A and B are shown apart, each in its own frame.
Chain A
């Protein structure tokens, strides 16, 4: 099992560009999450999906959209990137919303 995979590993964008961060898990988990982590800070929840077909906002959803494409995949889209969105983005999954979360390796995003 690969666990949680994320693509790309690193991306540089110009202000105003759009992009989609991909996340997939092969553990048959119901719940998936997107977090951002700024330098020296903890993780902040952007969006989560408690189960296939549902999504909900976390602490910092502004400027982002998500799609739970199927049970395996949960993507995060930046429609118009801003320098404030420079961060490391982690995807995670768990069997249910109260179970242990398994994290991907992260995507480092730099917005110029």
Chain B
């Protein structure tokens, strides 16, 4: 089963760029990489999704190397409101069929003033 590994926590200051890396060594050919953000007492919220190379939207960028065994979420110029838990998610299709989502423990980002 594809699993992900992320740093447990990170600290940053307002205005800095934050890069969170996720390892997914067993990623399957058809799997996409998705990142979610979760604030306290709320459900996770989609940030960005990619398959390879680089994806950018109004919130973040996602960098995926050619071997796809890792990915890096980049948050430009973070603010206090970016303090949250960030989850890296890789689709997982076991041989028996179906789909099982594997959320790791996530990375707790704390942005300081």
Q: Which residues of A line the B interface, CB within 8 A?
A: 4, 31, 33, 35, 41-45, 48, 50, 56, 58-59, 90, 92, 97-98, 100-106
Contacts and interface: CB of A to CB of B under 8 A. Distances in A.
Contact of A48 (B43, B100, B104): B100
Interface residues of B, number: 23
B32 A98 contact: yes
Nearest to A3: B43
B95 interface: no
B98 A56 contact: yes
Interface string B73-113: 00000000000010100010000001111111110000000
B100 A104 contact: no
A96 B59 CA distance: 24
B10 to A, nearest CB: 16
Contact of B44 (A45, A50, A103): A103
| Residue among A43, A59, A98 with max Cβ neighbours from chain B (10 Å) | A43
Interface of B: 30, 32, 34, 36, 41-46, 49, 85, 87, 91, 98-106
Contact of B41 (A41, A58, A104, A106): A106
B100 A43 contact: no
Contacts of B32: 98
A102 B102 CA distance: 15
A41 B100 contact: no
